[in-house]
Amino acid sequence: MPLVKTWQLIAVSAVAGLALSAATVAAAGPWDSGQRKAERDRAASWGRTGGADHGTDPAAELPRAAPSAPGVLAGVRPGGAVSGEASGDQAGAGDPGALAAALRPLLADPALGTLQGASVIDTATGKVLFEAGARDPMTPASTVKIATAAASLAALGPDHRIRTTVTPGAGPGQIVLVGGGDPSLTAKKKAPAGSGGSLVALAADTAQALKAAGTTSVTLGYDDSLYTGPVLHPIGANPNLAPVTALTADEGRPDESFSGPVKRSEDPSRDTARAFAALLKERGVKVTGAPARAKAPAGAVPLAATLSPPLAGLVERMLTHSDNDIAEALARQTALASGAPASFDGVARATGARLAALGVDTSGSRFADGSGLNRADKVSAGLLTALLAKAADPQRPELRPVLTGLPVAGFTGTLRVRNSGTSPAAGLLRAKTGTLSGVNALAGTVVDPTGRLLAFAFLAANTPDAGPAEKGLDKLAAAVATTS
């Protein structure tokens, strides 16, 4: 590949990615429904629960700005070569031997358990720079969100928005609140996580439409039939994930929290409808009786609607903060777009099919959910790096949010306190973390000393302790960042 294309790829995927991610995180606010330190500790004591990774300091709630581009990339030589790269056919070739020498001793760290999978590739050329067990399916924990993100973007595109609507009901004086599966939907007057679907705005528009038609009293139904199958995740009730329904406001949180573990609503659809009824009452529309489940009439023209942020923004929020609720919602959107049921079973079929259509090898993979909380999920390190390379492909701009949503080491999201400070990987590395008890993973991209954008994935199983395992993974990633 010509050197100019390597530079363009780095510029798009690294420089723009860091800048856009910092801007997105700042705009979106602390949308951190991933798992913090308290959840990690809690998960360590639970046998089958999981997703409890990404420890952060609660006192450091707001992320710092990502580093500027000059701190990330080497200078460009005349003629398009990156400083530190050789010219001609040697450019970007790298030294796999040097990388292997750096990584193999680190992979032998007992903290990384008894089974590891590792893959490092050059995203510009597809060249494999290092692999060990790279094709072995393993439990990925939250790194499966990379697959969830890629599948949803491939299925729907980055500009897709999820609608929540209000339609006339089947009977006189009835309206129906119809859930579309928007995970950003909020009943709060000021959205805690930035832009998203707003029940407040939807109630205002609905009241205006009703009053214009001379209606000031209604009965309210709610329709969450878009999703099918069990609403509870296979691991059962869990403070890291609400029951998965097509009509959920504020991720089913019954309090004012917007992140961290909390006991969720047992019936998010019902509670969302009740919140909507209260908002209508505040705007002069009386709701008689309690909201009840109802089916919106086929072909009914909405009275009002509210939209989620573009799918690209939802993907970025999900990846930056390891948001399980967004992950499960996006997985179901993928299933719907693929003609599959919006259920855990439908997700398993649709996700794999969408990824295979991208041209990546999904052999041995299983996508039992979208969040990675299920230990039945199986992916390989090689699949994760292949997806990251697809997201970096200039011919696949619709997948770019997979890169721009990854946390920046030492600066944002779930990597804010990892490879931070004086670490040689600070600001250079972007990655998705993953932690279940006995499972630790890290997968993302890094700009190496020659300016190449590399994709890496490290999966570890049977790890004895999450803390040392995370440190071991961070050392591996830092070695990729510093070895040329």
390 is catalytic: no
> 192 exposed, middle or buried (CB, 10 Å; 0-12, 13-18, 19+)?
middle
Q: What is the spatial distance between Cα 406 and Cα 17, in angstroms, rounded to a whole number?
A: 9
Q: Where are the alpha helices (DSSP H) in 338-400?
A: 344-357, 381-392
Q: What is the spatial distance between Cα 396 and Cα 331, in angstroms, rounded to a whole number?
A: 20
119 is catalytic: no
Q: What is the spatial distance between Cα 453 and Cα 428, in angstroms, rounded to a whole number?
A: 10
Tell me which DSSP letter residue 379 carries. Answer: B
Q: What is the spatial distance between Cα 235 and Cα 230, in angstroms, rounded to a whole number?
A: 12
Q: What is the DSSP string of 334-353?
A: HHHHTTS-SSHHHHHHHHHH
Backbone φ and ψ for 472, nearest 5 degrees, come out as: -65, -40
Q: How many CB atoms lie within 10 A of CB 384?
A: 31
Catalytic residue among 21, 33, 145, 380: 145
Q: Which long-range contacts (CB under 8 A, 24 or more apart) does 374-378 make?
A: 374/233, 374/234, 374/235, 375/48, 375/50, 375/139, 375/436, 375/439, 376/234, 377/139, 377/140, 377/141, 377/144, 378/137, 378/138, 378/139, 378/140
Q: How many residues does the chain have?
A: 484
322 is catalytic: yes
Q: What angle do CA 30, 479, 14 make, to 5 degrees?
A: 50
Under a CB-based contact definition with an 8 Å cutoff, are residues 131 and 119 in contact?
yes
Q: How many CB atoms lie within 10 A of CB 108?
A: 10
Catalytic residue among 13, 21, 33, 142: 142
Q: For residue 117, give every residue at least 6 positions away whose Cβ sits within 8 Å of its Cβ, in sequence order, or none.
A: 132, 133, 134, 136, 138, 380, 381, 382, 457, 458, 459
Task: Report the half-sphere exposure of 304 (CA within 13 A, side-chain side).
Answer: 22
Under a CB-based contact definition with an 8 Å cutoff, are residues 261 and 42 in contact?
yes
Catalytic residue among 269, 322, 380, 437: 322
Provide the pairing of β-strand 174-178 with 163-168.
antiparallel
Just list the catalytic residues.
142, 145, 322
